[in-house]
Structure 1
Amino acid sequence: MKKTLTVLGVIILVVILIVGVGQWMTRNDEDKPGPTTTGASPTPGTDVDQPDSCPAYEVISAPGTWESKADDDPVHPTANPNSLLLGVTNPLQEAYGGDAAADGANGGVKVWTLPYAAQFRNINALGEMSYDDSRNQGYDRVVEEMSATYAGCPGTQFILTGFSQGAVLTGDLATEIGNGNGPVPAANVAGVALIADGRREDGKGTLVGSPDVKGIGAEIALSSVNLLVQPIVPGASMRGPRPTDFGELQDRVNQFCDPADLVCSAPRDIGNAVARANDLIAANGVHAQYSTNGNVVPDATVPQWIVNWAKNIIDS
């Protein structure tokens, strides 16, 4: 009985730490020299009938938990001024104009931020939308946006990025697209960048930066104890790994994870969780620090890396 209670206590600790990072830090993401593109990415097609009003590229950003609202403005979001991915979208809008235009890199980039609930019902916030419902709402809205763009602009290339809950839904969608089941062909996705993906695992996409990531996504790590998790985070299904890799997008998906971030690098089993309980407590704030943490990728923060990666794609 004592061992069972210890294990349950550690499970509770892990989940509380995962949902307890709502104190977002002030972002400071000025441009720095950035990376070259990781993985091959196609260029906009020239053999499709593309209206002049279409963007050459559309950047779709899926914010993390508590960083968006269902009725937010997708072009000029204001739901959370400290949203991590504003460190990606704002510089790209400044560089390329932000709205759809016809003339390629200098104005032909549409930047669209997902408006969705971005909530995570838990024992401290039982009035919020459940993680499952929030994630599904976000997923459906990205599908709607991509479908609408592709219907009128079949030559537009998409660049997808997501953080935390937004990374999970974006990664799920990239899996579907890469395996031929998405709203657009895989050839229309130029690249994907996932920050702190809760379903991250080795061999799916490219882990960029720190080689010290030893864990797995929290949805995978906690899948075997999903029923025990439900009283703490009701409606947050720990679904386990994605059923396949990213298919045709495998070499176009970039994963970013701080080794101490429990969302994307949770202990692989309960035994490890018990042994590392003190480390887990110390790592509580890491998930909120990708905009200031220079230890994940060399010579830049993760948002800075993504901005320069996206520019390399657009300007190539």
Structure 2
Amino acid sequence: MSVPAGADPNDSGSCPAGAVFAVGGTWDPTGQTTQPVTDRYVAQGYASKPVTYPASFWPLGDQTYDQSVAAGAQTLRTEVNAFHAQCPGSEIVVTGYSQGARIAGDVLGDIARDGSIPQSQVEGVLYADPRNSAGGIETVVPNVVPGATMSGARGGFGDIAVQEVCIEGDGICNMPKPRDAPEVFVDSVFGYFTKHNTYTPMMSEPAPPAPPALPQTPSVPLQPADVATAIVTRVVENITPYLSAALATVLTK
């Protein structure tokens, strides 16, 4: 579908082919990180609808993760409902990155359950979703930080077409349980620092295939001592290159 000739897709007086609602990650309250996704859809005649929310994570921000997610979800749902009421025949795309993917995915799930919008008119693209059923951090890690509830996997998206984009080894969306694959678990933790902020180039292109499935529970369960040993060993392996580089820098000064 395309926008009528001469119409502004962001003009409230006309209905575009669709609208893309983009939710940024933590520390990105206006969705700048998801701009490449928005640009792809705007080029197809969709209206840009960036979602503003706290994007906070206490104690590094003034609101807890739970408060930030709740505020973002409420804003996103309100704006989606308002657009659909104004343009009931237009398509709706909901996308988000990291904390924004948590929000976008939750709202997509709500829409699938309540039937307020025809599912055939809605699609989603989630980048680094912490509730990814294939290993999102919220499906693996227990509640540790006050105000940051690990909510587990969602119940699905009904007939809404949702693409999960996750870089293999990014601990936010691709983390195994420690006792299932301790070495991979450690790699995914370090992957947060080395891979989680590398999605921007991928957002300019259609969603790539999902990463390989995570290791399943071993046929012979690992004992706690074996898990601990494997974790410590892999931590040392991961930090050794950085320590060596730091030492070399010090010695050459």
The answer to whether the aligner puts 1:266 opposite 2:168 as a matched pair is no
Gapped runs of 5+ residues in structure 2?
Answer: 3-11, 209-253
- Alignment partner of 2:138 out of 219, 242, 247: 219
Give the drift of 1:174.
1.2
The answer to whether the aligner puts 1:160 opposite 2:94 as a matched pair is yes
Instruction: Tell me, yes or no, if the aligned pair for 1:173 and 1:182 is still in contact at 8 Å.
Output: no
Query: Aligned residue for 2:241?
Result: none
Query: Aligned residue for 1:200?
Result: 132
Query: Aligned residue for 1:169?
Result: 103
Q: When the two structures are aligned, how many residues end up with a matched partner?
A: 198
- Alignment partner of 1:248 out of 145, 159, 164: 159
Give the drift of 1:278.
4.8
Across the aligned residues of Structure 1 and Structure 2, the Cα RMSD in angstroms comes to 2.5
State how 1:138-157 maps to structure 2 within 5 Å. 138-157=72-91
Relative distance call for 1:187 and 1:277 in structure 2 (3 A) is: closer
C-alpha distance in 2, partners of 1:286/1:110?
A: 30
C-alpha distance in 2, partners of 1:303/1:241?
A: 23
Give the drift of 1:199.
0.6
C-alpha distance in 2, partners of 1:194/1:281?
A: 20
What TM-score do the two structures reach when normalised by structure 2? 0.70
Relative distance call for 1:282 and 1:147 in structure 2 (3 A) is: closer
Deviation sequence 1:30-71 (CA, Å, 0-9, x none): xxxxxxxxxxxxx79xxxxxx972222011111111111xxx
Give the drift of 1:255.
0.6
Q: Secondary structure of 2:205's match?
A: helix
Query: Aligned residue for 1:305?
Result: 205
Query: Aligned residue for 1:63?
Result: 24
The amino acid of 1:160's aligned partner reads V
C-alpha distance in 1, partners of 2:107/2:198?
A: 25
C-alpha distance in 2, partners of 1:241/1:278?
A: 21
Instruction: Tell me, yes or no, if the aligned pair for 1:193 and 1:306 is still in contact at 8 Å.
Output: no
